[in-house]
Amino acid sequence: MSKDNTPNIPGMNLNPDKYSTEKPIVSPENTEKIQKEMEKTKKELDKLKSWVVKNYKFTKSISILPPQAIPLFIEEEEIPKQAEKHLQLYMVVPEDKFKEIPIIQKEILKEVEKIKGQKIWLQIKTPVDIWELCLDSKFDMSGAIAMSYPLFDTGFLGALRMSEIHKTLVLRKFEKYVVSYVIAGSFLRGDATSTSDVDVFIIINDTDVKKMPRLELRERLRNIIYQYVAEAAALAGVKNTLHIQPYLLTDFWESVKDASPVIFTFIRDGIPIYDRNTFMPWKALLRMGKLKPSPEAIDMFMKTADKTKEMVDRRLVDSMVDLYWGVLTPSQALIMLYGLPPPIHKDAYKIMEEIFVEKEKMLKKTDIAILDKLVKSFKEFEHDPKYNISGKEIDELVKDSEEYLKKLKELRKKIEKSSQEKTIEQIYKDVMDLLKNVTGKTSQDEIVKSFEKNFVKRGKFTNHHLKILKEIITAKEEFKKGKLSSHNVDEARKSAGLLTNDLIDFTQRCELVFADKGKLKLRYKEGVADIVKYGKDVYLIRGNVIKKITSKVEDSNAEELNKSFEGRDKQASIEIDSKAMDLIRKELGSFEIIL
């Protein structure tokens, strides 16, 4: 409900399930008259609410009690009988304002007297007053407060209303089995807000369930009870959440016998909003000191004390293990960032020393001493079942680990900068090497001019290729000035990949053309053969058989052929002297040239 909502009809039936009546509140013939009166009352109540909240900022809630419940309050609170027909305002203030209630009430009543045409009775209570009603088993009254119509609410009334609705839903499903429905936790201290959680314990009687195992019964009950949580919040119009803890009655008594601190706290501080004469006797017994743990429970708690040192020692060892992984994992990460595979833990210190201390000189040996120390401690822990470490040693390891991790963060920046520099340099070198081969130029300026004039303008490459080339040159210059980010480096790498691939394709196409120009096909009696000339070397190729033609026909191989191909001159035509042709004719017999 909104904090600013005021009721449309102050006499409305707010909770028909609890306070239903067959007699209509207003007759049809008086509807129009009553409606006008209610509109006027609504405005007056809104003014009163605003005045109260402004002057008493600690106010938790202001609401209108359901008319059907008024007789209960008249009897309990000793309200005059004639007030039964009054509009009943119920205001809740913090417990620490209890002594100020008479003064607050007197001042508010002065404002109430200004409202004409509507008689109002005001009650001002604290959350403790409401809890006292519950402890006295006056659940109808606490339920009426929960279901009262809110004029203003900081969250207390909404949380109580949600609990009341959830309780009603649970009771409708299996009232026979519910022993107690109890609110617990911080809500009872009056600290509730519009989003606070409310802790609830529900105790279910399982003593007469014969056809179902207890575990199955508990799970079924848990599922059903949890299904109602969202429904109760929606019906209450709040954002609070119920934290439900259902207990079987037998399990609950077992926990009491075992002196469970949770259960003892729950009995001591919990407030029932439904109870079948079970919870209150427990509360009374605890107050009288008659709820005592069994001797077995006392022995169990004493044994816990005996194990305290063992538990502390184990946790100290666990802390060492956590610190070990805390320095090892980022160390492996930086080794991977450098370009190496992650080492096993035993080699991590050695590789960190070799790379970052000795080779790159980015760290000092003292910087990585903690890694060596923790690796050795972990090895000792692995091989010694009785391994122990003191709290003082843990403190030193924590301090050294923090310093080491700071060094690693600085190291990461250095590695990334170095990696980016290598990336830019490699991109630039790869592209320029390819362009030197394509253009035949050596200097950067000559390469760019030749590429633009002889290749871009002639349509062999596009303007986009030229743009990428200039961007790579600019990226290299910007990086040297320290103006290039890792994102810019990555973009340059992607663009360079496109230019590099197209340059390689172009170069390979040119090589194929030159290779074809150095090749001659012959048809002879047994099939087809190729004659290739690379530089001064002439080869005769028949299938997988390669022969080299010098002053005679010699055996050769693919390796020698490729070597000649790589060292060739770019030639426009193939020229083979008559002596070589005679040797080929002797090898093949008569042949003809295929054009």
User: Region 342-351: what's the mean pLDDT?
Assistant: 88
Give me the domain span that covers residue 290. Answer: 158-298
What is the secondary structure of 447-488 as a DSSP string?
HHHHIIIIIITTTSS-HHHHHHHHHHHHHHHHHHTT---HHH
Nearest residue to 367 (alpha-carbon basis) of 352, 347, 385: 352
| Domain contains 201 | yes
| Domain contains 17 | yes
d(CA 35, CA 9): 8
| Domain contains 365 | yes
Whether 505 and 525 map to the same domain: the answer is no
| Domain contains 180 | yes
DSSP state of 115: -
Whether 203 and 64 map to the same domain: the answer is no
State yes or no: pLDDT of 359 exceeds 60: yes
Whether 271 and 184 map to the same domain: the answer is yes
Question: Per mean pLDDT, which of 77-91, 139-153, 490-504, 578-592 is the most reliable?
Answer: 139-153
The domain boundary residue, chosen from 137, 154, 171: 154
The domain boundary residue, chosen from 298, 326, 353: 298
Whether 139 and 282 map to the same domain: the answer is no
DSSP state of 595: -
Whether 342 and 270 map to the same domain: the answer is no
The mean pLDDT value of the chain amounts to 82
More confident: 298 or 109: 109
Position 180 scores a pLDDT of 93
Whether 124 and 181 map to the same domain: the answer is no
Cβ–Cβ < 8 Å for 177, 205: yes
State yes or no: pLDDT of 7 exceeds 50: no
State yes or no: pLDDT of 4 exceeds 70: no
- Write down the H helix ranges in 552-592: 558-566, 578-588
Whether 56 and 181 map to the same domain: the answer is no
Whether 2 and 144 map to the same domain: the answer is yes
Determine which helix (DSSP H) or strand (DSSP E) holds 260, and give its type and residue range: none
| Domain contains 576 | yes
Question: Per mean pLDDT, which of 290-294, 366-370, 451-455, 500-504 is the most reliable?
Answer: 366-370
Cβ–Cβ < 8 Å for 249, 159: no
State yes or no: pLDDT of 87 exceeds 70: yes
Where does residue 339 fall: left (phi above 0), alpha (psi -120 to 50 degrees), or beta otherwise? left
Position 419 scores a pLDDT of 74
User: Which residues share a beta bridge with 272?
Assistant: 182
User: Region 84-102: what's the mean pLDDT?
Assistant: 91
More confident: 151 or 9: 151
Contacts of 84 (CB under 8 A, 6+ apart): 70, 71, 74
Rounded (10°) CA dihedral 552, 574, 524, 543? 80
Q: What is the pLDDT of residues 252-289, one digit of tens each?
A: 888 877 767 788 888 888 999 999 988 888 888 888 87
Q: How far lies 199's CA from each of 117, 185, 192, 271, 429, in Å? A: 43, 6, 11, 11, 69
Q: How far lies 593's CA from each of 522, 526, 541, 588, 590, in Å? A: 5, 14, 14, 12, 10
Structure tokens at 310: 């063992």
State yes or no: pLDDT of 573 exceeds 70: no
Q: What is the pLDDT of residues 184-220, one digit of tens each?
A: 888 887 677 778 888 999 998 888 766 677 777 778 8
d(CA 224, CA 215): 14
- Provide the number of structural domains found in the chain: 5
Position 510 scores a pLDDT of 63
Whether 1 and 100 map to the same domain: the answer is yes
- Give the CA count within 13 Å in the CB-facing half-sphere of 376: 7
Whether the model clears a pTM of 0.85, i.e. scores above it, the answer is no
d(CA 532, CA 529): 10
Q: How many CB atoms lie within 10 A of CB 576?
A: 13
Question: Per mean pLDDT, which of 3-7, 441-445, 507-511 is the most reliable?
Answer: 441-445
Q: How many CB atoms lie within 10 A of CB 87?
A: 21
| Domain contains 395 | no
| Domain contains 397 | no
The domain boundary residue, chosen from 154, 176, 210: 154
User: Which residues share a beta bridge with 242?
Assistant: 198
d(CA 9, CA 30): 14
Strands 537-542 and 87-92: unpaired
| Domain contains 402 | no
Residue 484: pLDDT band by 50, 70, 90 thresholds? low
Position 32 scores a pLDDT of 65
Residue 106: pLDDT band by 50, 70, 90 thresholds? very high
Whether 379 and 479 map to the same domain: the answer is no
Cβ–Cβ < 8 Å for 561, 554: no
Residue 152: pLDDT band by 50, 70, 90 thresholds? very high
Whether 261 and 380 map to the same domain: the answer is no
State yes or no: pLDDT of 24 exceeds 70: no
Whether 13 and 121 map to the same domain: the answer is yes
Residue type, 256: V
d(CA 588, CA 528): 10
Position 147 scores a pLDDT of 93
Q: What is the pLDDT of residues 506-548, one digit of tens each?
A: 777 766 655 555 677 888 888 888 888 877 788 888 877 888 8
DSSP state of 153: E
Position 530 scores a pLDDT of 84
